[in-house]
Chains A and B, each alone.
Chain A
């Protein structure tokens, strides 16, 4: 192997002040060769982003500092460089792409100027030459109609296009090292596939070394030459991608891989129970033309959606952002009023009911939200959160508390924890509490709106398991909203694929996965990262 582009040796980054741990990363060693993509993978708090920032010399000065170790770029030590020297290297020999293309571009400056800024800083090209170079690189990253787009503002571009602009700005001076910090996490799966392809292509063009930070093993399997697994600031395992993904040596890696849901749906017996939830020709329209805004846009967020869920069955709604999948869920829970159509719970239509008439039905439909950090009132104890609903429906405090204690064991938390506040729990534990809170209402329908999307993959697996448990135990009809095909494959009996407000395909999970009918569904499946790979399925059943 030729001399590595990047060589990190025994690097420790100290966290200033009193944190929960003294080091963000500790004693890590890794290298990135030319023409090589190294994926750093880990859950939140693993220190993978800090590593990237340390290499770029962009650690937040007030909070963190490199304590020991060396970072060499093409053999040149970076940790001892002055700020001015580092600035001269950033943008020319190493460059970085960030997670949020929304916020990583300056909203008030034209995108062409933002790419050109790199040339302005590091070269003495005149404005005309700069424009030429910007157009060239914009063409190279396959942006449509660069002559037009060069003068656009970021908000006029789509998320994928913005990320292409970021990549163009990073690569315009052909750096030896590209650092990509979760560059596709904020993007939809189809866009993600395109950006991954682009990173591959651009990396091959000039034999760039790429340090690619991600939490997603699907992405790793798509793009990595080598993999570095991090946990709590340390490197657990590293090696060639095939080897780490196929034969992980360490338990932690094994556990992570085992937590990645399989793309192959398990065999399921069709559920034949009674229909509990049914929507007919459901519409939700946003925007209204008025005298003053005659050209206001009208959006059909939900367009003619008809679906049904049986007792004991999980129906998944799968789609990308803006597909209207959450709006369907929110309409059913009456968090937003539907524009037209029927929503039947046990046969009675709730869509047009008054709030008073709906009230008795309310307890039968319960909801689990995406963000476990915001779905519990931080000022009230877990116990108060769980008993709130039952007490609204006439249970005495004592009875409600008794029910809360039972439910805490159902969700595998200690009943003593009822007196604690939400901030004392981790994200996964909070989601368990939210499930207990929903169950306390003795619901028939449980709606989960991306209930595991905010969780790390290992925690996600546990919460999914719990959801399956409670579905069986209480014979619930579950409506499961997700963007993640792997999750859908594992938990849903049937799935409905939504695109721009419309259900384009509906069927049993095994049918849809085996033979997708609609072209959009096929596109979704094609885009799913690592779709052809089983991550260690079954091998770590004991974990």
Chain B
């Protein structure tokens, strides 16, 4: 029996993760997005050492100064020092540069937390809906209902009920994101369970939990990474919107939305309150979106169709 033992040449393709990582290093979108996010992350972590002062310190004698004005501020130790307000000051005399740098912390915290929580919840519920017929109808009706409420309104309504804090905002932004993830996961599960290899596992007597873990869930990872990235971008945006409307994180906390909200009244005279945090906000969201696009091209070419 000498016939056909590995007759065709074996394709020398290395295991999949390595391919993806190499592709990422060559993808300009991933590199650009990743680099900008890294910079913002470093800025958030190193905020105290980036020439900032206390971002919440009110300074009545230095109100509404244009960028570049020299102001004197009191340091933690109580002595007064002179410094240049690079991005100007707001109407309470707080240093806009310091607030912008510290503001990165809230944006990233909100973006990452919302992405992680909504993907985790969405995957759990989505798998249940996709694999168990009885639950499917109920879950999807609830998700349809939640999706019918405009995301921002839902977030606004939830924030309005509870004391405003960063975590309230995170939960309020997460809840409207979950139905989207559920739908995506469910559609993947529904299509994967039709795959012959899943049916093959059924005929091999593989139990349902093992079936999900081994054969179904791995198919959701790449789309979830991509979707999570887009959710992160959208969460940063919604947090800024909520803060901007004055119904997000408490106004004394430095966030990009809060800085802009504070500057709204005087913006035609002092546009720096809007422009600087606006640039940082837009750049960060852009970087996350670009990263998401790049990741999608690499990890999940089919999903590119779903926008």
Contact = CB atoms under 8 A, between A and B. Distances in A.
Interface stretch (B4-12, B35-43, B256-264, B267-275): B4-12
Given A374-B195, A389-B205, A412 B5 contact: yes
A26 B202 CA distance: 46
A365 B197 contact: no
Nearest to A447: B203
A281 interface: no
A375 B197 CA distance: 4
Contact of A375 (B3, B4, B200): B200
B16 interface: yes
Contacts, number: 83
B215 interface: yes
A108 B1 CA distance: 55
Contacts of A335: 199, 202-203
A388 B201 contact: yes
Contacts of B4: 412, 428-429, 462
A315 to B, nearest CB: 19
B214 A392 contact: no
Contacts of A234: none
Interface residues of A, number: 38
A304 to B, nearest CB: 25
B205 A412 contact: no
B203 A377 contact: no
A414 B6 CA distance: 7
Interface string A412-434: 11100100110111101100001
B196 interface: yes
Among A375, A377, A389, A424, max chain B CB count under 10 A is at A377
A74 B191 CA distance: 50
A412 B15 CA distance: 25
Interface residues of B, number: 28
Nearest to A428: B4
Interface in B164-205: 195-197, 199-205
Contacts of B8: 426, 429
A423 B203 contact: no
Given A374-B195, A377-B197, A424-B11, A412 B203 contact: no
A369 interface: yes
B265 interface: no
Given A374-B196, A374-B197, A423-B11, A379 B16 contact: yes
A471 interface: no
Given A359-B205, A414-B5, A426-B7, A377 B214 contact: yes
Contacts of A385: 197
Contact of B199 (A367, A393, A423, A424): A367
B59 to A, nearest CB: 58
Contacts of A380: 214
A479 interface: no
A423 B10 CA distance: 9
Contact of A437 (B16, B200, B202): B200
Given A371-B196, A376-B197, A437-B200, A392 B10 contact: no
A95 interface: no
Interface string B141-157: 00000000000000000
Contacts of A369: 196, 199-200
B196 to A, nearest CB: 4
Interface in A333-369: 333, 335, 359, 362-363, 365-367, 369
A392 B206 contact: yes
B218 A379 contact: yes
B13 interface: yes
Interface string B14-26: 0110000000000
A392 B205 contact: yes
Contact of A367 (B16, B203, B210): B203
A363 B203 CA distance: 7
Nearest to A370: B196
Contacts of B197: 374-377, 385
A424 B196 contact: no
B214 A412 contact: no
B207 interface: yes
A24 to B, nearest CB: 18
A417 B4 CA distance: 13
A370 B13 CA distance: 25
A441 interface: yes
A426 B4 CA distance: 11
A375 B203 contact: no
A362 B205 CA distance: 6
A462 B3 CA distance: 9
Contacts of B10: 420, 424-425
B15 A421 contact: yes
Contacts of A421: 13, 15
B5 A413 contact: yes
A417 B210 CA distance: 25
A423 B8 CA distance: 12
A412 B200 contact: no
A359 B215 CA distance: 19
Contacts of B207: 392
A349 to B, nearest CB: 19
Contact of A389 (B199, B204, B215): B204
Contacts of A424: 10-11, 13
A369 B195 CA distance: 10
A333 B214 contact: no
Nearest to B218: A379
A479 to B, nearest CB: 13
Contacts of A426: 7-8
Given A359-B205, A362-B203, A424-B11, A413 B6 contact: yes
B205 A363 contact: yes
- A-B pairs, 9 with minimum CB distance: A389-B204, A375-B196, A369-B196, A426-B8, A392-B205, A377-B197, A362-B205, A367-B203, A374-B196
21 contacts: A333-B203, A335-B203, A362-B203, A371-B196, A374-B197, A376-B197, A377-B197, A377-B214, A380-B214, A388-B204, A392-B207, A413-B5, A414-B5, A417-B6, A424-B10, A424-B13, A425-B10, A429-B7, A437-B200, A437-B204, A462-B3
Interface of A: 333, 335, 359, 362-363, 365-367, 369-371, 374-377, 379-380, 385, 388-389, 392-393, 412-414, 417, 420-421, 423-426, 428-429, 434, 437, 441, 462
Given A375-B197, A375-B199, 5 more contacts: A365-B203, A375-B196, A379-B16, A413-B5, A428-B7
